């Protein structure tokens, strides 16, 4: 057995929290030989739900679960934390403008960033799930004085997995046969799901496989533009329409895979995650943007794959999503938060 890891989950009494906790405690995230201590952070309205989940965790008698603590104090929750999964956020209410939404979330992610700076372990890393995830990560990173900004990432792995899922359906191959899909930009409807570098296990490019399946290059391009990109980018809304509730188990699964690959390493090719830009691909520094990333699993976290080529159409789509991220950052700045 390895030493135990302290994981703080915010919004743990919510839907995604409930889908996350049991899988983490069962060893799905960090492996079957790494015990975990869970810290569940909630607001007073959500604390009973988190306490109930803690009782159920006890009833599972997971061998890897060393402890579960429920708290409404961010300082307590992040004290000594090594991994943060920042799920709890303020949803957009009826008639709420973007500035109100960003202000409400700044009131959550700012203090959490400060609590991380005050007490988290030196190797701490966080993934932000709560929306608007990219900008919430930016707010937390800026508030975490003294913590390197690259410790904060935002989740676009769900978008990445959604893109792979669409290709699986059309190409009739297994998910593990598809590599090097990319989600560029914001976790929002402006994101750019890109298959230009994607390929199958036998080396065939996804573009060639699509042309083969769909009856030529033009048909493949039309499918990418008219079906694939909008469907992946708006999948969240489709799930709400069909299911009557937002994505939960798939979001929890993606968050687990994001942390697992960051901590233990990516294997075949790259994945997608939103990282604080250091100017890669001309993205303004400091913006939290989704890129193709790899991790060696050595504690250094994700690293952006650089120097991939775009065609003009792809570059325009990516630029539009980056422009949205810049506008979100500027709106937060205007509130005096950054
Ligand atoms: P729920 O409303 O079920 O749960 C959110 C929980 O967060 C609630 O229990 C609430 O009490 C708690 N909370 C609110 N403010 C808090 C604070 N300051 N500290 C601690 N806890 C707090 O939402 P759920 O379905 O679990 O979704 C959570 C977030 O994930 C939402 O913001 C949602 O938009 C976002 N998503 C992000 C995705 C992504 O890929 N990045 C996909 C799925 C999901 O839409």
CATH number of the CATH domain containing 133: 3.40.50.720
Q: How far is the CA of 85 from the centre of ligand 1 (A)?
A: 11
Mean local confidence (pLDDT), 210-215: 98
Quote the domain boundaries for residue 132.
5-154
Which position has the token pair 């980018």? 233
13 lines ligand 1 (CB under 6 A): yes
The residue contributing the CA closest to ligand 1 atom 31 is 130
Q: How far is the CA of 1 from the centre of ligand 1 (A)?
A: 32
140 lines ligand 1 (CB under 6 A): no
Output 206 or 96, whichever has higher pLDDT.
206
273 lines ligand 1 (CB under 6 A): no
What's phi and psi for 42, nearest 5 deg? Answer: -140, 170
Catalytic residue among 160, 187, 199, 258: 187
State how far the Cα of 297 lies from the Cα of 316, in Å rounded to an integer: 33
Q: Are 231 and 103 contained in the same domain?
A: no
In a domain, 293, yes or no: yes
Q: Indicate the residue among 122, 154, 186 that finishes a domain.
A: 154
130 lines ligand 1 (CB under 6 A): yes
For the CA of 245, the nearest atom of ligand 1: 25
Does residue 23 have a pLDDT over 90?
A: yes
The CATH number given to whatever domain includes residue 318 is 3.90.110.10
| pLDDT value, residue 24 | 98
The residue contributing the CA closest to ligand 1 atom 32 is 130
Does residue 68 have a pLDDT over 90?
A: yes
| pLDDT value, residue 92 | 85
Does residue 119 have a pLDDT over 90?
A: yes
Q: Are 240 and 106 contained in the same domain?
A: no
Structural contact between residues 163 and 195, judged by C-beta atoms closer than 8 angstroms: yes
Mean local confidence (pLDDT), 284-290: 97
pLDDT in tens, 171-206: 999 999 999 999 999 999 999 999 999 999 999 999
Q: How far is the CA of 297 from the centre of ligand 1 (A)?
A: 27
Prediction pTM value: 0.98
Residue from 9, 17, 54, 87 to probe ligand 1 pocket by mutation (most atoms less than 8 Å from CB) = 87
Mean local confidence (pLDDT), 79-102: 92
List the single range of 44-53, 93-102, 122-131, 153-162 with lowest mean pLDDT.
93-102
Does residue 105 have a pLDDT over 90?
A: yes
Q: Give residue 96's pLDDT band: very low, low, confident or very high (50, 70, 90).
A: confident
Q: Are 48 and 103 contained in the same domain?
A: yes
Give, in order, the Cα–Cα distances in Å from 161 to each of 87, 165, 185, 202, 232: 19, 6, 15, 20, 9
| pLDDT value, residue 98 | 82
Does residue 230 have a pLDDT over 90?
A: yes
DSSP string over 106-129:
HHHHHHHHHHHHHHS-TT-EEEE-
State how far the Cα of 280 lies from the Cα of 5, in Å rounded to an integer: 32
pLDDT in tens, 231-264: 999 999 999 999 999 999 999 999 999 999 999 9
251 lines ligand 1 (CB under 6 A): yes
Q: Are 306 and 236 contained in the same domain?
A: yes
Q: Are 227 and 205 contained in the same domain?
A: yes
246 lines ligand 1 (CB under 6 A): yes
The residue contributing the CA closest to ligand 1 atom 27 is 16
Which position has the token pair 């959550």? 108
Mean local confidence (pLDDT), 21-50: 98
89 lines ligand 1 (CB under 6 A): yes
| pLDDT value, residue 338 | 81
Does residue 66 have a pLDDT over 90?
A: yes
Q: Are 143 and 192 contained in the same domain?
A: no
Q: Pick the closest to residue 178 from 163, 190, 189, 188 (CA basis).
A: 163
Q: Indicate the residue among 124, 154, 184 that finishes a domain.
A: 154
For the CA of 154, the nearest atom of ligand 1: 41
Q: Are 112 and 250 contained in the same domain?
A: no
Structural contact between residues 116 and 126, judged by C-beta atoms closer than 8 angstroms: yes
Q: How far is the CA of 13 from the centre of ligand 1 (A)?
A: 9
Q: How far is the CA of 16 from the centre of ligand 1 (A)?
A: 7
In a domain, 62, yes or no: yes
Q: Indicate the residue among 138, 154, 170 that finishes a domain.
A: 154
Q: How far is the CA of 310 from the centre of ligand 1 (A)?
A: 34
Residue 267 a catalytic site member: no
Average pLDDT of the chain? 97
Mean local confidence (pLDDT), 49-68: 98
Give, in order, the Cα–Cα distances in Å from 305 to each of 125, 182, 273, 275, 295: 20, 10, 11, 12, 10
40 lines ligand 1 (CB under 6 A): no
In a domain, 337, yes or no: no
| pLDDT value, residue 304 | 98
Q: Give residue 117's pLDDT band: very low, low, confident or very high (50, 70, 90).
A: very high
Q: Are 132 and 162 contained in the same domain?
A: no
Does residue 324 have a pLDDT over 90?
A: yes
pLDDT in tens, 74-84: 999 999 999 99
Does residue 95 have a pLDDT over 90?
A: no
Helices marked H in the chain: 15-25, 47-60, 74-78, 98-119, 133-143, 157-171, 206-214, 217-223, 229-233, 235-243, 249-264, 312-334
16 lines ligand 1 (CB under 6 A): yes
| pLDDT value, residue 38 | 98
Question: Tokens at residue 87, please?
Answer: 């799920």
pLDDT in tens, 290-309: 999 999 999 999 999 999 99
């Amino acid at each position: 057995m390895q030493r135990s890891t302290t994981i703080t989950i915010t919004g743990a009494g919510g839907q995604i929290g409930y889908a996350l906790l049991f899988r983490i405690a069962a060893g799905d995230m960090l492996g079957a030989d790494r015990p975990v201590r869970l810290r569940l952070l909630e607001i007073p309205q959500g604390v009973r739900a988190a306490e109930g989940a803690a009782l159920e965790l006890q009833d599972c008698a997971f061998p890897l679960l060393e402890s579960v603590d429920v708290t409404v104090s961010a300082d307590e929750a992040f004290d000594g934390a090594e991994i943060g999964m920042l799920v709890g956020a303020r949803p957009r209410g009826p008639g709420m403008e973007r500035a109100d939404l960003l202000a409400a979330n700044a009131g959550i992610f700012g203090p959490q960033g400060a609590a991380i700076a005050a007490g988290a372990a030196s190797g701490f890393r966080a993934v932000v799930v709560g929306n608007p995830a990219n900008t919430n990560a930016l707010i937390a990173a800026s508030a975490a004085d003294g913590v390197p900004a690259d410790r904060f990432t935002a989740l676009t792995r769900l978008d990445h997995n959604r893109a792979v899922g669409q290709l699986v359906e059309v190409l009739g191959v297994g998910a593990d046969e598809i590599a090097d899909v990319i989600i560029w930009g914001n976790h929002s409807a402006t994101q750019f799901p890109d298959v230009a570098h994607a390929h199958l296990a036998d080396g065939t490019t996804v573009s060639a496989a699509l042309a083969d399946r769909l009856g030529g290059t033009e048909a493949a391009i039309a499918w990418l533009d008219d079906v694939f990109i909008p469907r992946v980018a708006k999948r969240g809304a489709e799930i709400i329409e069909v299911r009557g509730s937002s994505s939960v188990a798939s979001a929890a699964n993606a968050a687990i895979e994001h942390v697992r690959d960051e901590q233990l390493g990516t294997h075949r090719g790259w994945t997608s995650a939103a990282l604080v830009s250091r100017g890669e691909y001309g993205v303004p520094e400091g913006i939290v943007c989704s890129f193709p990333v790899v991790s060696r699993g050595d504690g250094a976290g994700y690293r952006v794959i650089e120097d991939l080529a775009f065609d003009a159409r792809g570059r325009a789509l990516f630029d539009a999503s980056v422009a949205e991220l810049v506008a979100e950052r500027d709106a937060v700045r205007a509130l005096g938060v950054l």
